[in-house]
Structure 1
């Protein structure tokens, strides 16, 4: 007796609505982000915005330590789910109907997580956020199982290891977090380390076929989106403060300094292409994991600018120095993390290598410069960009040009 589903499945495969989920080539040309991936990023930034907003709220209520801890915990779940999707898509994006539907389910999970962020911050109740996180992660498990069904040999084993590892971690989250609501920090750290270990264990014998240029582009695009969210949050804060307090003179230095910081952050991140450095799993994974500091600090800059605006108009109990630190510290973390992940691989000589670390220290020192601390931090950041351009130009002048091998006419 014939299978009644056989003919429809065959037709779907023939039309492109259903494809075999086999690995894409690592050397594939013109491998760029898809519209679905860009949509995925934009939906995820909703959760990023929620985390930043609650950090501002916690700081304004006089609980900066609680706010930072909650922010880092929530941001880890956002970043890790985004990161796992991006690396899977780099290796296995089929862009067929099941893949698209499953990705949309992951987006739903991110929105559930975002809806649970206020409760997690205000009441220490992470249950709704955990539910959203588990939805995202289990949706990815179905993608790995589908890849395992299509693959053979080592690639099949790797896909199955991913699926099993992710499922085990989700069971751990449910056991540790759902009954209590408010997780002990040690329990969260244990589960975070378990999540981080899954890719390294799964790909030990047979790496997935992620694409270096595609991965570099995906991270770059998410950096742009997060920086854009910082600009948006700061703009709304300035507008609200002006409408409520008419304190434009106090806000101009913060607005100018904030824009200089964000513009400089963009320039510094994209100063050199990085995909050539992603030559192996070890290099790429360290680079990818390190972006937790890049993304979280970039988003925190926007939250810090909101705190600075509220402090300037007297709408927050944060001290002037505390408000300045809310901007300068994440800016310094961003500069140091970009130097560690990007700049140090391409800079030549002590002057180029020391520019970003010295700038980070100078930005932290701006914390103690009074009411114009944000403006000074912005000027220092912009000065680092200008210095970097000058140093690179000088190095190019003094670098001998190799003689052309092309025959002359």
Structure 2
């Protein structure tokens, strides 16, 4: 196959479009960063001060997800896989690793230090990709230039926030919120000039892969629970918790992937809600992994939290994940009322179970009910209902 011209727009109707090995390589950085951020929440929940750590978890998870999302949507529209594209992507990956390497330190202190340097390197690579696309794809020049300018402006905002606010102070979180609002405003503003030619099925696959990464946090927690069976004093309680967690993670996977057509249209309003709303799905899944890990800590007497307090986290994470999946997917699918109401109803059930402090196996049973209710007939074709 002859090499593609540099950074020309991809065909959104291209057949057999799949993730490249570079994109999968890029995802490894996200694995490290998500694991570090989730571990911080896990330990906070197990020690009984999860609520105090929640703003830090949200703050850092948003940063990790946003870096992944920026690159993913660009690559879906303009990835030509030539040498310069690979090199600029590797620059982004290098900066992301600097940030990920300090994620645990940042979670504990909210002192960015070298994390800010990693973020600047990432944004420099991303701006370079957008400027290159602006030069090579004249039809999308305005859109690409808006992206480049918006990303650069947002990075200036983060840098000013770092040097003008104290870590973990109210001013720090206020400045961070403003910077995130600026970040989130860039895609709608840029795409209003002309929507980038992202590939719908490629984007669905990319989001599905990040969901697998998020599920990996739960699987890791389950494995730690089963590890308690080894040694001189096996923990039956931790093993039972792990069995229940295994049922939960299988159910979450089943519910997420029961529909092949997650994004049923390329219309910008629907695509934006789907793309942005997924952060709640990913965040809830990672938080669920943290809550399960904390449950295992409590079962093995390595955690200080009360079981009912950890159950509140389990219920909240499952409720948020179910509600977010309804918002991003089921809300716009042409589903019968039976299926359309399943996730909102189960979100309420999970939240109630968490408030009641029910044991882990109760959430496993509710997860099975959710699968039976919402996903008895998988891989149906739907059209956009909204």
Same fold (TM over 0.5): yes
Higher relative contact order (CA 8 A, sep 6+): 2
Unaligned runs of 5+ in 2: 382-386
My pick for the range that moved more, 163-172 or 319-328, is 319-328
Q: Is 2:370 the partner of 1:384?
A: yes
* In structure 1, distance between residues paired with 2:91 and 2:11: 26
* In structure 1, distance between residues paired with 2:231 and 2:175: 43
The aligned residue for residue 201 of structure 2 is 213
Match of 2:20 among 34, 39, 53: 34
Match of 1:327 among 314, 324, 329: 314
Tell me the SS of whatever aligns to 1:277: coil
Q: Is 2:295 the partner of 1:304?
A: no
* In structure 1, distance between residues paired with 2:166 and 2:187: 27
- Conserved 8 A contact 1:308-1:326: no
* In structure 2, distance between residues paired with 1:130 and 1:236: 33
Match of 2:349 among 351, 359, 362: 362
The aligned residue for residue 384 of structure 2 is none
* In structure 2, distance between residues paired with 1:361 and 1:252: 28
- Conserved 8 A contact 1:238-1:309: no
The aligned residue for residue 160 of structure 1 is 145
* In structure 2, distance between residues paired with 1:21 and 1:294: 31
Distance 1:197 1:216, change over 3 A: same
- Conserved 8 A contact 1:234-1:303: no
Report the CA distance between 1:346 and its aligned residue.
2.8
The aligned residue for residue 193 of structure 1 is 181
My pick for the range that moved more, 297-306 or 130-139, is 130-139
Match of 2:62 among 71, 76, 87: 76
* In structure 2, distance between residues paired with 1:244 and 1:115: 32
Equivalent pairs, count: 377
The aligned residue for residue 89 of structure 2 is 103
Report the CA distance between 1:194 and its aligned residue.
0.2
- Conserved 8 A contact 2:46-2:310: no
Distance 1:151 1:307, change over 3 A: same
Distance 1:387 1:351, change over 3 A: same
TM-score between both structures, scaled by the size of structure 1: 0.86
* In structure 2, distance between residues paired with 1:181 and 1:231: 36
Match of 1:56 among 26, 30, 42: 42
* In structure 1, distance between residues paired with 2:304 and 2:66: 33
Report the CA distance between 1:324 and its aligned residue.
1.2
Q: Is 2:163 the partner of 1:175?
A: no
- Conserved 8 A contact 2:229-2:236: no
* In structure 2, distance between residues paired with 1:315 and 1:20: 55
* In structure 1, distance between residues paired with 2:197 and 2:9: 6
* In structure 2, distance between residues paired with 1:181 and 1:127: 12
Larger Rg belongs to? 1
Q: Is 2:268 the partner of 1:270?
A: no
